Amino acid sequence: MKNSVRLAALLAFACMSTAFAQGYPNRPIRVIIPWPPGQATDLAARMVSEKLVPVLGQPLVMDNKPGAGGTIGSEFASKQPADGYTLLAGSSGPISISPNVQKVPYDPSKDFATICLLAVNPYVLVVNSSVPAKNVPELIALLRANPGKYSFSSSGSGASAHLAAVLFNSMANVNAVHVPYKGSSPSVTDLVSGQVAYTIETVPSIISFVKSGRLRALAVSTAKRSAAMPELGTIADDLPGYEMSGWIGLMAPAGTPSELRARLSAETRKILQDSDIRNRFIALGLDPAGNTPEEYTEFLKRQNDRYASIVKQAGLKLD
């Protein structure tokens, strides 16, 4: 008798969930963007959301809530009802990096549910044009021959660019001086002027200087070549196992029904195959992605484990 009651309850729940999913959405969906307008996460989320509107039949309303490296907007999203009407434009900073270097008011693994990875943001290893290294092996040889002589810049201690360089230096077994800045722009500016020798930064922040010859790009940080700079090999070509990248993806408050997330993921994956969207992403220096909620969850675990390991190795901890 108990088994019959349990089975009936499960069937009733399944029917309710299916009916709920079929009627979704019946009102506007809010997309929380924890960054200012014009930032890469904001642009990627808007592009995909525009394409989702005719598919879902409801407006997707962009709600920028910037501040504290993306943690303010992310916290806000984590506390919203898990009904599919609040989404988060998640990214590596507030989800994978910040929780490993400082205390944040949410638990990325418990307070969010995955939907679909939108893009991977490759970094590029670049040197000042005066540095006598034309490729990764030559840079490693130069740094090994001159321990402590050369310096590298980053957009700040604990920032993704810093962690990417920490991983590179460790795997290459080199000793260089870290010079942190308050943002990518001053970091790259001093690299161009020769105040520092190298950095690992995003494609948009360095591409114009590479094209003008003021910086020399050596390799990308992703496991495979990047669509944004396909002419470059990977750091992993010379340091097997090296992989580092930022990411942008759609998430939701934990508890959001799996049926809704599966539908949103499926529709988003279709959009990411659109040539117009792909070209617009690549123009921003982003490699289009697309995966299932389950694949996205596994991706996040690998990312978080990698960042946690680098942070521990570097002894980083911010107040």
Q: What CATH number is attached to the domain comprising 159?
A: 3.40.190.10
- Classify residue 7: in a domain, yes or no: no
- Classify residue 14: in a domain, yes or no: no
Low-confidence spans in the chain with pLDDT less than 70:
1-22, 317-319
**CB 281, CB 71: distance < 8 Å:** no
CATH number at residue 293: 3.40.190.150
Residues whose CB falls within 8 Å of the CB of residue 2, separated by 6 or more in sequence, listed in order: none
116 with 134, same domain?
no
Per-residue model confidence as pLDDT tens digits over 193-227? 999 999 999 998 999 999 999 999 999 999 999 99
Q: Residue type for 181, please?
A: Y
Per-residue model confidence as pLDDT tens digits over 117-172? 999 999 999 999 999 999 999 999 999 999 999 999 998 888 888 999 999 999 99
**Chain position carrying tokens 């942190």:** 180
- Classify residue 222: in a domain, yes or no: yes
β strands within the chain, DSSP E: 29-33, 60-64, 86-91, 112-128, 151-154, 177-180, 198-202, 215-220, 245-253, 287-288
- Classify residue 19: in a domain, yes or no: no
pTM of the model: 0.85
Our count of domains for the chain comes to 2
Give residue 17's pLDDT: 47
Tell me what percent of the chain is helix, strand and coil, each rounded to the nearest 5: 50, 20, 30
- Domain interval for residue 150: 122-237
